[in-house]
Structure 1
Amino acid sequence: MKKRIRQCFGKAASSYSEAASVQRIVAGNCAGLCPQGDYNRVLDIGSGVGFLHEELQKRITSGCYVSLDLVSPMLLEQKGAGALLVSADGEELPFSEGCFDLLVSSSAMQWYGEPQKSIPQSFCVLKSGGRFAIAIFAEGTLRELAEISARTGFGSVKKLRSCSFYEGVFNNIPGLKVNYASEEHEVFFPSVKHFLKKHKQTGAVASSEDISWGKNKYRRFVEEYEKLYSGGSGIKASYKVFFAYGEKL
């Protein structure tokens, strides 16, 4: 799965900034959960092209901002951001315990293979008194795409975990003072073809399932999607986001 993630997001690196409109909004909302002030060392897990860093620069100052991502081409899109770019796996952080004052991550941890294990491990690098803000796409995201894919056999959508699942993960991390929030977004596209193109340009097509691109299946997919989820505003795509934010005691 990690290989597939690298491939899909690597190909989408140059188009991500323009296509990932919801991810940009989520990054801004995640940044808003971080208290304003000065932080000596900041770790941004799954930083991608740098949306969260851009937003945080409006709220905080930092001595060292570490932008970590599994996909090197995504990091290289962070031109002039002033961050220390680290190509590494967020589930296997290459840092010592207690070395960061602020831990942030937006639109990344839903790709974790073992979130029950790796999310708690992430907090080992946060020092006592450090703050954190995490945003994760949850079950309900692209529910229309998942439903029509299952009905027609066209395409494949990664199965996402629920907000309650992630709340349980964070509740089991010792020494956290944590708050939760969630939000939903509806985005409308001119056509199914336009939606699929934009979705591909974000790289979020990575899936462990086989993908079928047969013409008959595609035709049926478009027909079903338009029948069920089109209206005056266009083709609808829904997104649900889980937030966890607070302090390590």
Structure 2
Amino acid sequence: MSASPPILFDRALLRQRRNRAAASLPEYDFLLQRVIDDLLDRVESINRDFERVLVLGGGGVFGQMLAERPSAAAKIGTLIETDIAEKLARQVCVDEECLPFADESFDLVISPLALHWCNDLPGVLIQINRALKSDGFFAAAVFGGASLKELRQSMLAAETEIHGGASARVSPFADTMDMAGLLQRTGFAMPVTDVDRVTVRYGNSFVLMRDLRAMGETSNLAERSRRPVSKRFFVRTAEIYAERFAGDDGKIPATFEIIHAGGWAPHPDQPRPKRPGSATARLADALGVVENSAGEKAGR
């Protein structure tokens, strides 16, 4: 029997904070809009239509932006938008870790900035794969491991200085290799990943943390410290952040690494990689170079 995945995130707290952010999200959804714009580009690039489409997360922003993209909207039939937070769920409130949909229900599943809060991401991807029809497409965007690296370092330094030790205050995120491997492991065909790195400049770390709260993207770690956080900690964090990272204009950078990942539900007609040793042409011929045997020394 396989062990249960570790509980990294407090999903109840995530729902609570996303509900709290529902009123402010339209003013602070610039990253979400950037992600959805990229996802819609990917939908437009695919030479086919999608009769039934599921959106996991996004607070209804996907549907709003789709209405402004007629070429993408023409490819999409029935659109079902969900969110874990009741106040952000456009149509259905759904926990991504327990999808209530029947197998082979959708032609396309999209997830903008939601799956990085899942405790069992492989399990979620398996459920998404099952919910897709054969040859259905999945595309997601999640925050990657380099996100908020400046804030993470500043908080670590401040807490070590004040308390002589530190606890995790910024959530761990996946990287591109993690996502590509996970897609393959969970049965997706032709998986692809790429990275969009965004640097946002702020007057200070207090403004950055205000934006994170308004986005519903503050840390939801299950094993977070229960020790009350003092004003001194946040002030020292802001000082260290400015000392280490501020530019000549005094503003601080905040890095957001956005990993895009996509793959197809398996279908018999999809291209398959050839088995090792089955190639009929030499790589050296394709590159126009001379092939040396293992015992020969390459010329200069």
**Over residues 181-215 of structure 1, what are the superposed CA-to-partner deviations in whole Å (9 max), with x where a residue is unaligned?**
11100001122222121111111113221364302
Match of residue 161, structure 1, among 174, 186, 207: 174
- CA offset at residue 131 of structure 1? 1.9
Decide whether aligned partners of structure 1 residues 156 and 203 sit closer, same or farther in structure 2, where only a CA change above 3 A counts. same
Which residue does 2:106 correspond to in 1?
100
Where relative contact order (Cα < 8 A, 6+ residues apart) is larger, the structure is 1
Q: Check if 1:247 corresponds to 2:264.
A: yes
- CA offset at residue 223 of structure 1? 0.4
Q: Check if 1:230 corresponds to 2:230.
A: no
**Over residues 35-94 of structure 1, what are the superposed CA-to-partner deviations in whole Å (9 max), with x where a residue is unaligned?**
36532110001132x22233334113333211111101112xx5xxxxxx1101111110
Which residue does 1:40 correspond to in 2?
51
Q: Decide which structure has greater strand share.
A: 1
Q: Is the 8 A contact 1:68 1:90 kept in 2?
A: no
Which residue does 1:68 correspond to in 2?
82
Secondary structure at the aligned position of 2:173 is classed as coil
**Over residues 72-117 of structure 1, what are the superposed CA-to-partner deviations in whole Å (9 max), with x where a residue is unaligned?**
1112xx5xxxxxx110111111010001011111101000011122
Q: Check if 1:21 corresponds to 2:30.
A: yes
Which residue does 2:272 correspond to in 1?
none
In percent, how many aligned pairs have the same letter?
Answer: 22
Decide whether aligned partners of structure 1 residues 55 and 247 sit closer, same or farther in structure 2, where only a CA change above 3 A counts. farther
RMSD of Structure 2 on Structure 1 (CA): 1.9
Pairs within 5 Å for 1:117-136: 117-136=123-142
Q: Check if 1:189 corresponds to 2:202.
A: yes
- CA offset at residue 175 of structure 1? 4.8
Decide whether aligned partners of structure 1 residues 194 and 30 sit closer, same or farther in structure 2, where only a CA change above 3 A counts. same
Q: Is the 8 A contact 2:15 2:84 kept in 1?
A: yes
Decide whether aligned partners of structure 1 residues 12 and 175 sit closer, same or farther in structure 2, where only a CA change above 3 A counts. closer
Structure (1 or 2) with the larger CA radius of gyration: 2
Decide whether aligned partners of structure 1 residues 233 and 67 sit closer, same or farther in structure 2, where only a CA change above 3 A counts. farther
Q: How many residues align?
A: 240
Structure 1: stretches of 5+ with no match in the other structure: 79-84
Q: Is the 8 A contact 2:57 2:113 kept in 1?
A: yes
Structure 2 residue identity aligned to 1:243: H
Greater CA drift, 224-233 or 142-151:
224-233
Q: Is the 8 A contact 1:188 1:233 kept in 2?
A: no
Match of residue 214, structure 1, among 205, 210, 230: 230
Q: Is the 8 A contact 1:39 1:60 kept in 2?
A: no
Decide whether aligned partners of structure 1 residues 95 and 145 sit closer, same or farther in structure 2, where only a CA change above 3 A counts. same
Query: Could you list the runs of 4 or more consecutive aligned residues of structure 1 that deviate by over 4 angstroms after TM superposition?
Result: none
**Over residues 9-30 of structure 1, what are the superposed CA-to-partner deviations in whole Å (9 max), with x where a residue is unaligned?**
1111111121131222112112
Decide whether aligned partners of structure 1 residues 170 and 24 sit closer, same or farther in structure 2, where only a CA change above 3 A counts. same
d(CA) in 2 for partners of 1:158, 1:149: 12
